């Protein structure tokens, strides 16, 4: 009897593996980690511009104030909030809590909802909405 051809890894999302909330959130956690690493380079460049001349800082501030710069800042802040909240979720898992499927899905949806709410609140306060 021949062994059927099966995929070697569940990472083959598509015809072999149906994406689940936990797997998509795991991939998103890794992607936000990469976004935060790249954003830390922008933060370092901002600090260098601040330590440099007033002209260098003004040019960097103008770059970050452009629509593309604001989009980058939004992605960075959303990544930071999501990565932080999902990291707390993983800490609970490391402590042995929330492994049951209903709890894993509930905490996943809570992380997604809180990420949206906290990112929106961060930008609302940051743009002077509470003033």
Please state, rounded to an integer, the average pLDDT across all residues of the chain: 90
Backbone angles phi, psi at 7, to 5 degrees: -65, 150
Please enumerate, by residue number, every residue annotated as part of a binding site for heme: 83
d(CA 12, CA 26): 14
7: left (phi over 0), alpha (psi -120 to 50) or beta: beta
Give domain limits for the chain.
21-126
Q: Over 80: is that where the pLDDT of 108 sits?
A: yes
Architecture of domain 21-126: Up-down Bundle (1.20)
**pLDDT score of 2 more than 80:** no
Q: Which residues are annotated as a binding site?
A: 83
Q: Which two tokens stand for residue 85?
A: 């909240």
When pLDDT is averaged across residues 108-124 and rounded to a whole number, the result is: 97
Mean per-residue pLDDT, 76-101: 95
Helix (H) and strand (E) counts in the chain? 4, 0
């Amino acid at each position: 009897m021949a062994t059927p051809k099966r995929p070697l890894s569940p990472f083959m999302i598509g015809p072999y593996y149906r994406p689940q909330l936990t797997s998509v959130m795991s991939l998103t956690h890794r992607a936000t980690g990469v976004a935060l690493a790249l954003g830390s380079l922008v933060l370092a460049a901002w600090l260098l511009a601040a330590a440099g001349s007033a002209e260098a800082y003004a040019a960097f501030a103008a770059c970050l104030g452009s629509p593309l710069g604001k989009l980058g800042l939004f992605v960075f802040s959303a990544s930071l909030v999501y990565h932080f909240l999902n990291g707390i979720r993983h800490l609970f898992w490391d402590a042995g809590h929330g492994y049951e499927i209903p709890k894993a899905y509930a905490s996943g949806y809570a992380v997604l909802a809180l990420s949206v709410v906290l990112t929106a609140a961060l930008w609302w306060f940051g743009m002077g909405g509470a003033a």
